[in-house]
Chain A
Amino acid sequence: DSGVTQTPKHLITATGQRVTLRCSPRSGDLSVYWYQQSLDQGLQFLIQYYNGEERAKGNILERFSAQQFPDLHSELNLSSLELGDSALYFCASSGSGAPGNEQFFGPGTRLTVL
């Protein structure tokens, strides 16, 4: 158990809908990362937050947004969902977000868009 929690574990929804994925980092970790894992794209970095502020952005679509709250938990919002958004979404956390810090991954949320 990494100490990172994600809810829900599974989410099934329809095209055009909006969903929110939630992540709680390990106790004491200030940095949260979001990743998308799909069969054809592999593991793609979406966005990083550090202590409430956006630090780095990867291949995140404009339909997706995220935030980190004062209690350090984070939410990833996916809107106008398309079939291609079906994937595993992982949250990870690390202490300071420094480049040499390893990240600890949550169990993921499996999103299915029908």
Chain B
Amino acid sequence: AQSVAQPEDQVNVAEGNPLTVKCTYSVSGNPYLFWYVQYPNRGLQFLLKYITGDNLVKGSYGFEAEFNKSQTSFHLKKPSALVSDSALYFCAVRPFENYGQNFVFGPGTRLSVLP
């Protein structure tokens, strides 16, 4: 069965500093990997995804993520954090091969960017 771990419940970073939100996954076969962000009282918004190809994926709002197959990780990064990036971030995985399998989301990481 597939699973996603986000080892940090909370990440604090100062505005202007680089940020990393960690994600590791377990799935049989090749994965599709996604990052979503949730602002208070809002639905999830898609940030970026890894399907195949280049391990570094660029997404919305200056975010990027690096797929590392050997470490089964897909960490979300941004070179310079903004206060407005403060939100709840979810990593999700879906196996490549099976239409019957659906998204499994990680528990979420709350990012606080301090001014």
Shortest distance from the beta carbon of B88 to any chain A beta carbon, whole Å = 10
Question: Chain A contact residues (Cβ within 8 angstroms of B): what range?
Answer: 20 to 34
CB contacts (< 8 Å) of A106 on chain B: these are: 43
Question: Chain B contact residues (Cβ within 8 angstroms of A): what range?
Answer: 20 to 34
- A45 touching B104 in the complex, CB below 8 Å, given contacts A97-B99, A100-B51, A102-B34: yes
How far does the alpha carbon of A55 sit from the alpha carbon of B73 in the complex, in Å? 28
- A104 touching B46 in the complex, CB below 8 Å, given contacts A43-B90, A99-B94: yes
CB contacts (< 8 Å) of B32 on chain A: these are: 99-100
A43 touches B43 (CB 8 A): no
CB contacts (< 8 Å) of A43 on chain B: these are: 44, 90, 105, 108
Show the binding face of B for A, using Cβ within 8 Å. 32, 34, 36, 41-46, 49, 51, 90, 94-96, 98-108
Show the binding face of A for B, using Cβ within 8 Å. 2, 4, 33, 42-43, 45, 48, 55-56, 58, 90, 92, 97-100, 102-108
Given A42-B107, A45-B103, A45-B104, 8 further pairs, Cβ under 8 A = A2-B45, A48-B102, A55-B100, A56-B99, A90-B44, A102-B34, A105-B43, A105-B45
